């Protein structure tokens, strides 16, 4: 086989790493072993056409080498990094490796060849499952489906050398009729534009030669990149990354209190795999709380949503305590009532000075820093993540979610009042109002993801953006991204909209101000433009 060049591909595939990888591939004289342990492109370059084009060029350089290229995969190999692996002649998976694509969740198709190469390895059904649904695949499943060619023993080098000597391996689509039947079924089940376009690309893998298939995928990717829905989804992802701030993992949770909020939190934390120390002032209160936890767990078992063995495992992680001293050593204590508790604390349902305050709304966990130590705030964000909630860190003076929800409710009430004042035959009924809002992703997920918002939706969008501008201007929301993250996580706006501040930027702040000034006579408190809007227009900037 001659000289074997080993190239490391780890961490984010930044512009510098992509350039270095291209140079290393060009300089390699013989067979190449790619050690890949990467989750793909950096967050800021997701959906950036130029970055994806560079990854596509790397994939073609790997695929077109005359000497063998084998990839050894470990850890989380996702997105663009997995596309590099698909371009290799063979793949070896180390123990614990996992693979996946998240493009569809961002309104995209992969842009570096995955829709063409993956079906040729695993068939249409498995390719569509991974590409459309974002399903993660472990090493054993990857081997069973043909995504990887061997499971590594040790570091995988010897397996890679063996496969390199056996290339080319036998690959290809074997049953075209079954393939097309799978594609047809997937097209009928597609729920989003991205999922439908993924089906088109996977079909092209069968119907077109490899080169034109890659070109078809590229055009599809660029087309989706320019869509309003994709831009909204990408903005939402970045907004959540900004708004969560730092997060410190929490493994051992303390809960102070024994009423319903404490019991509900204990049940959720146990289900998430945390160790829970539940404490209260009196033994009677602790006993009552334990009984409530047991009752909820038994209901889950009886309903078939929990196995008895799982209940016993959860119960073993629940440690009852009497008095605050029993909370020593926990990573974070959630205060559901006032008490003399030391260490990192988070207030939930109770107001405490200099303690972060958690407000829960739908999947949102808004954490108001409240002047607390950054470490305490970060632990609160870590707890929210562990429980499957979306953490958004704000400042004192909110909660932001309540202010936004109130503004939306007032705008809807104004529209309803105007409708009621009109002729019954010409008025806007509740069903029509809800449909109009949902079509624009306001307080619901509508099917109509394109087109121009009507007057009703524009009023509501403007009310949300105006209140968001007030929150940023008052220093309660650290940035417009925080407002968007809160609005989306709380269900006030659909994820694909990108949130009210993103929508305002798309229309333009001068247009927003014009509308608000025109409506201010109707309700000055609701529609008068926030001072921040004037300031940003004067500076030629949008919401950031």
Residue 396 has phi, psi (to 5 degrees) of -65, 145
CB 239 within 8 A of CB 392: no
Domain identity same for 408 and 341: no
Average pLDDT value for the chain: 92
**Helix (H), strand (E) at residue 37:** strand 31-37
**Partners of 345 in beta bridges:** 333
Using the 8-state DSSP alphabet, how is residue 110 labeled? -
pTM (two decimals): 0.87
In a domain, 526, yes or no: yes
Q: What is the pLDDT of residue 428?
A: 55
For the segment 514-539, what is each residue's pLDDT rounded down to a tens digit?
Answer: 999 999 998 898 999 999 999 999 99
Q: What percent of the chain has pLDDT over 70?
A: 95
Give exposure, 434-457, as e/b (b: 16+ Cβ within 10 Å).
eebbbbbbbbeebeebeeebeebb
Q: Of 367, 394, 421, which residue sits at a domain end?
A: 394
What is the distance between the alpha carbons of residues 389 and 395, in angstroms, rounded to a whole number? Answer: 19
For the chain, percent helix, then strand, then coil, each to nearest 5?
Answer: 55, 15, 30
Domain identity same for 517 and 535: yes
What is the band of 455 on the pLDDT scale with cuts at 50, 70, 90?
confident
Domain identity same for 135 and 213: yes
In a domain, 236, yes or no: no
Question: Could you tell me the two tokens for 54?
Answer: 């560079």
In a domain, 180, yes or no: yes
- Contact residues for 324 (Cβ-Cβ < 8 A; gap 6+): 256, 279, 339, 340, 341, 342
Q: What is the pLDDT of residue 446?
A: 56
Domain identity same for 368 and 423: no
In a domain, 528, yes or no: yes
- Domain harbouring 341, CATH code: 3.40.50.720
For the segment 101-155, what is each residue's pLDDT rounded down to a tens digit?
Answer: 999 999 999 999 999 999 999 999 999 999 999 989 999 999 999 999 999 988 8
CB 33 within 8 A of CB 6: yes
Q: Over range 161-181, report the average pLDDT.
A: 83
Domain identity same for 491 and 386: no
Domain identity same for 102 and 126: yes
Domain identity same for 385 and 406: no
Q: What is the pLDDT of residue 165?
A: 80
For the segment 76-93, what is each residue's pLDDT rounded down to a tens digit?
Answer: 999 999 999 999 999 999
Domain identity same for 12 and 128: yes
What is the distance between the alpha carbons of residues 214 and 60, in angstroms, rounded to a whole number? Answer: 10
Residue 518 gets the label, from left (phi > 0), alpha (psi -120 to 50) or beta, of: alpha
In a domain, 246, yes or no: no
Domain identity same for 387 and 404: no
Question: Could you tell me the two tokens for 355?
Answer: 């303690």
For the segment 225-262, what is each residue's pLDDT rounded down to a tens digit?
Answer: 999 999 999 999 999 988 877 889 999 999 999 999 99
Task: Give me the number of domains the chain comprises.
Answer: 3
Residue 280 gets the label, from left (phi > 0), alpha (psi -120 to 50) or beta, of: beta
In a domain, 245, yes or no: no
Domain identity same for 517 and 432: yes
Q: What is the pLDDT of residue 351?
A: 86
**Is the bond preceding 84 in cis, omega lying within 30 degrees of 0?**
no
Question: Could you tell me the two tokens for 197?
Answer: 């376009």
What is the residue range of 409's domain? 400-539
Domain identity same for 190 and 65: yes
Q: How far is CA 45 from the centre of its chain?
A: 15
**Is the bond preceding 399 in cis, omega lying within 30 degrees of 0?**
yes
């Amino acid at each position: 086989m001659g000289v074997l060049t080993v190239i490391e591909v780890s961490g984010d595939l930044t512009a510098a790493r992509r350039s270095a990888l291209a140079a290393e591939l060009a300089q390699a004289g013989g067979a190449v072993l790619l050690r890949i342990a990467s989750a793909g492109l950096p967050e800021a370059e997701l959906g950036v056409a130029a970055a994806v084009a560079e990854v596509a060029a790397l994939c073609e350089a790997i695929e077109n080498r005359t000497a063998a290229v084998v990839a050894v995969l470990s850890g989380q190999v996702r997105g663009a990094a997995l596309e590099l692996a698909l371009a290799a002649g063979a793949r070896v998976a180390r123990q614990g490796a996992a693979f996946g694509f998240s493009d569809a969740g961002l309104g995209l198709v992969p842009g570096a060849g995955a829709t063409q190469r993956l079906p040729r390895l695993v068939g249409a059904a498995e390719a569509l499952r991974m590409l459309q649904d974002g399903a993660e695949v472990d090493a054993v499943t990857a081997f069973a489906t043909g995504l990887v060619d061997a499971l590594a023993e040790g570091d995988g080098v010897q397996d890679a050398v063996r496969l390199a000597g056996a290339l080319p391996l036998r690959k290809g689509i074997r049953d075209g009729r079954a393939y097309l039947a799978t594609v047809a079924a997937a097209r009928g089940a597609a729920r989003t534009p991205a999922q439908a376009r993924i089906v088109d690309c996977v079909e092209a893998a069968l119907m077109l030669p490899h080169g034109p298939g890659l070109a078809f995928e590229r055009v599809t990717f660029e087309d989706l990149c320019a869509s309003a829905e994709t831009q909204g989804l990408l903005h939402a992802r970045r907004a959540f990354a900004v708004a969560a701030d730092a997060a410190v993992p929490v493994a051992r949770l303390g809960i102070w209190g024994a009423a319903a909020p404490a019991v509900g939190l204990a049940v959720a934390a146990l289900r998430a795999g945390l160790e829970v120390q539940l404490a209260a002032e009196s033994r009677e209160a602790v006993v009552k709380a334990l009984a409530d936890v047991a009752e909820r767990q038994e209901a889950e078992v009886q309903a078939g949503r929990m196995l008895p063995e799982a209940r016993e495992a959860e119960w073993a992680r629940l440690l009852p305590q009497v008095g605050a001293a029993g909370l020593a050593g926990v990573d974070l204590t959630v205060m559901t009532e006032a008490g003399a508790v030391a260490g990192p604390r988070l207030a939930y349902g109770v107001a405490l000075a200099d303690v972060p305050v958690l407000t829960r709304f739908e999947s949102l966990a808004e954490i108001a820093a409240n002047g607390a130590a950054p470490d305490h705030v970060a632990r609160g964000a870590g707890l929210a993540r562990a429980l499957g909630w979306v953490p958004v860190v704000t400042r004192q003076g909110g909660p932001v979610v309540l202010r936004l929800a109130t503004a939306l409710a007032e705008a809807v009430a104004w529209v309803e009042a105007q409708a009621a004042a009109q002729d019954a035959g010409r008025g806007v009924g509740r069903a029509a109002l809800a449909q109009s809002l949902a079509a624009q992703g306001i307080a619901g997920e509508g099917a109509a993801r394109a087109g121009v918002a009507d007057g009703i939706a524009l009023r509501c969008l403007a009310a949300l953006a105006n209140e968001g501008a007030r929150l940023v201007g008052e220093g309660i929301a650290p940035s417009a991204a925080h407002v968007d993250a809160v609005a989306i996580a709380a269900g006030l706006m659909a994820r694909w909209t990108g949130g009210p501040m993103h929508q305002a930027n798309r229309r333009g702040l001068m247009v927003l101000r014009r509308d608000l000034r025109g409506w201010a006579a109707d309700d000055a408190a609701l529609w008068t433009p926030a001072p921040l809007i004037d300031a940003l227009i004067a500076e030629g900037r949008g919401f950031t």
